[in-house]
Copies of this chain bind each other. A is one copy, B any other.
Amino acid sequence: MKALLVVAHGSRRAESNDEIRQLTACLERQAEGAFGDVRCAFLELAEPSIPDGLREAIRAGAGEVVVLPYFLSAGRHVVKDIPAEVDSVRREHPDVSISLAPYLGASEGMIGLLLQQAQSD
């Protein structure tokens, strides 16, 4: 089974973390069989952590996990911190294929989305 783990920064504001959880619930409804398990994790300030989120997906039966950084720029978190957390679980579970998708800001569809958003009123 293939799982998707959306990784957000995490915030002191509970509403911001809940926004990520709601987004993840929408993603799960729209994943239409592409991912059998969709969940979120946070780099800091909220639960679950990235390693815990990965472990939950694996416990749910994932043999493959795609980690998607919900970040807009390629800062230290995207370049170093998230890969390091992912690596720690890769070592624990060498039988599971864990891949890192490009961070959201690098998406080819971002320009189209921004233009759509700018014309949404």
Contact = CB atoms under 8 A, between A and B. Distances in A.
A49 interface: no
Given A110-B23, A121-B101, A115 B70 contact: no
Contacts of A111: 23, 26-27, 30
A57 B119 CA distance: 17
Contacts of A35: 118
A115 B73 contact: no
B73 A118 contact: no
Question: Is chain A's interface secondary structure helix, strand, loop, or mixed overall?
Answer: mixed
Contacts of A23: 105, 110-111, 114
A34 B73 contact: no
Given A109-B113, A113-B104, A113-B109, A19 B73 contact: yes
Contacts of A34: 115, 118-119
A19 B117 contact: no
B115 A113 contact: no
Closest 4 CB pairs of A and B: A16-B73, A109-B113, A107-B117, A68-B118
8 contacts: A16-B73, A16-B75, A19-B74, A66-B119, A68-B118, A99-B121, A102-B120, A109-B113
